[in-house]
Amino acid sequence: MEEAVKEEKNDERMERMFKVGAHFGYSKSRRHPSMKRYIFGVKNRVEIFDLEKTKNALQSAKEFVKSLGALGKQILFVGGKNEAKDILAQGALSLDMPYVATRWIGGTLTNFAVIRSRVERLLFLRAERDGGGLAKYTKKERLIIDREISHLEKYFSGLISLATLPAALFVIDPRFEHIAVTEAHKKNVPVIALMSSDCDLDVVDYPVVGNDSAIPSIRFFTEEIIESYKSGRGEALVAVPSPEAPKLNFSA
């Protein structure tokens, strides 16, 4: 019975992947050599992914993410391309996770102390502004500070909750986010990624091969990762035993 339910869920997942266009890659001329084993065929000059293999890869990624959720570990969501940034930011916020939905700032992982100092600067200036501490400055100085806050918010507001290096990165299009992936490797941070046929399969620890340019596809895979983390977090909460009520001693 359990196996039948699992198979039904897998069939449903395959159907959903087709509906969101997850099977569409790029033209053969753009294909990275490492992706050959994931190609099922060609339609209208566009390569088609073998979604059976994608489903298996997604399952491996989800199991890893679930384990992180059970341990309460942080995942840094990374997706600065136009099609991905809003989905990634909303998904990260739903888990209270850090994210980068703009241009990746070099050194975010490899020079973390400096990046964290920019986050602290942002928090300080926000507190000063909200608490009326900027009243002591001239109008021109306040304008300059407001501009600094806007700049810092654009690039660092998603990193406020990141106090230490993350346990993993979830990346949309590792080719587009190659600097983030390189930094993750240098710091031994595992990378989970949705990646199309133009990406190098070997630079990612948990590759999920699929359409990384279509909004419905990006949303589908992001939601799968989010649900896996929530599942792990939920199981961890259930596993924590509730404190026993004190036993009364009637022998006295």
Side chain identity at 128, as an amino acid letter? E
pLDDT band with cut points at 50, 70 and 90 for residue 245: very low
Strands (E) across the chain are located at 39-43, 46-49, 75-78, 99-100, 168-172, 191-195, 206-209
Q: How confident is the model at residue 250, as a pLDDT? A: 42
Side chain identity at 205, as an amino acid letter? D
Q: How far is CA 47 from the centre of its chain?
A: 26
pLDDT band with cut points at 50, 70 and 90 for residue 46: very high
Q: Is the pLDDT of residue 40 over 50?
A: yes
pLDDT tens-digit map of 9-32: 667 888 999 999 999 999 999 999
3-state helix, strand, coil in the chain (%, to 5): 55, 10, 35
Task: Centre a 10 Å sphere on the Cβ of residue 108 and count the other Cβ atoms it contains.
Answer: 27
Beta bridge partners, 193, equal: 171, 207
Place of tokens 């699929």: 210
Indicate the Cα dihedral angle 132, 133, 136, 140, nearest 10°.
Answer: -80
The C-alpha atoms of residue 90 and residue 101 are separated, in whole angstroms, by 10
pLDDT tens-digit map of 184-205: 999 999 999 999 999 999 999 9
Side chain identity at 225, as an amino acid letter? I
The predicted model gives 38-56 an average pLDDT of 94
Domains and CATH numbers, the chain: 20-107+165-236 (3.40.50.10490), 110-160 (1.10.287)
Q: Which of 52, 74, 24, 34 is nearest to 210 (CA)?
A: 24
> Does the CA dihedral 184-190-194-199 come out positive or negative?
positive
Identify whether the C-beta of residue 74 lies closer than 8 Å to the C-beta of residue 162.
Answer: yes
The predicted model gives 81-98 an average pLDDT of 96
